[in-house]
Amino acid sequence: MILGDFLKAVLQLGDRRFRRVMAIGVLLSLALLVAVYAGFLAVIQTFVPDAIDIPFVGPVGGLDTLLSWGSALLMIGLSVFLMMPVASAFTGLFLEDVAQAVEDRHYPALPPVPRMSWGDALVDAANFAALLIAVNALALILYAFAGPFIPVVFWAVNGLLLGREYFTLVAMRRLGRVGAKALRKRHWGKVWLAGTLMAAPLSVPLVNLLIPVLGVATFTHLFHRLNRQG
């Protein structure tokens, strides 16, 4: 059923509001990655000289350029981890537009809900991004013992957090914070599974740029389905 929710989200990608939010999300995500990459290059340029004297060889130039190319590959790898907090920030900032687009198309009989203020959205996004980073820092201990299962542990940890955040924020629109938490606790396994299925493609460079929009839409369908079940 979760895959059915995801398929509905994919089929709505042609929606004008989906395209708008996706374009904004992709641009903001790329801007963040470029900013981090530029900072990393600045550090390289500061601490690595243009030429290094190697015994019996003489001066060797262009080492900073070599490291710069290496840093580009490093940034592609770092994007796997950076997209997790990006996705969390995206939730609070653009969730309302995507969730409303889904409800207008699939649940038109629902009454309107008041929009969350930008201030509250920013606070929620910042708090969850900080939590996500802190938990992943602690999870480094688990990664040291996970061996070949590091990706599975990474997806499970982040799936738990992403599922918790996405589902709660989507459900809060209709049930309030207390009602959203209660529903999430009753269906925590399905919420965790949905979050893990979202965390996995977030680990794939370029593909991960599309996942935040699809994640919000998927969790909107998931919420309405589970809410009917009680």
pLDDT in tens, the chain (230 residues): 888 999 999 999 888 888 888 888 778 777 777 776 677 667 666 765 554 444 444 444 444 544 555 555 666 666 666 666 666 666 667 788 899 999 999 999 999 888 777 677 677 777 777 777 788 778 778 877 888 888 888 899 889 988 998 899 899 999 988 999 999 999 999 999 999 998 888 878 777 778 888 889 999 999 999 999 87
Q: Which of 126, 86, 106, 123 is nearest to 213 (CA)?
A: 86
What is residue 103's predicted lDDT score, i.e. its pLDDT? 95
Cα-Cα end-to-end distance for the chain = 16
What is residue 72's predicted lDDT score, i.e. its pLDDT? 59
CA gap 162, 185 in Å, rounded = 15
**What's the predicted TM-score (pTM) here?**
0.79
What is residue 40's predicted lDDT score, i.e. its pLDDT? 66
What is residue 17's predicted lDDT score, i.e. its pLDDT? 86
What is residue 138's predicted lDDT score, i.e. its pLDDT? 80
* Residues 34/23/126/122 CA torsion (nearest 10 deg): 130
Q: How many CB atoms lie within 10 A of CB 209?
A: 22
What is residue 53's predicted lDDT score, i.e. its pLDDT? 47
What is residue 52's predicted lDDT score, i.e. its pLDDT? 47
Kindly list the domain boundaries of the chain, sorted by start residue: 2-31+79-229
CA gap 221, 78 in Å, rounded = 31
CA gap 135, 213 in Å, rounded = 23
- Specify whether the CB–CB gap between 167 and 180 falls below 8 A: yes
What is residue 54's predicted lDDT score, i.e. its pLDDT? 43
The three-state secondary structure class of 60 is strand
| Plot region of 56 (φ>0 → left; ψ -120 to 50 → alpha; else → beta) | left
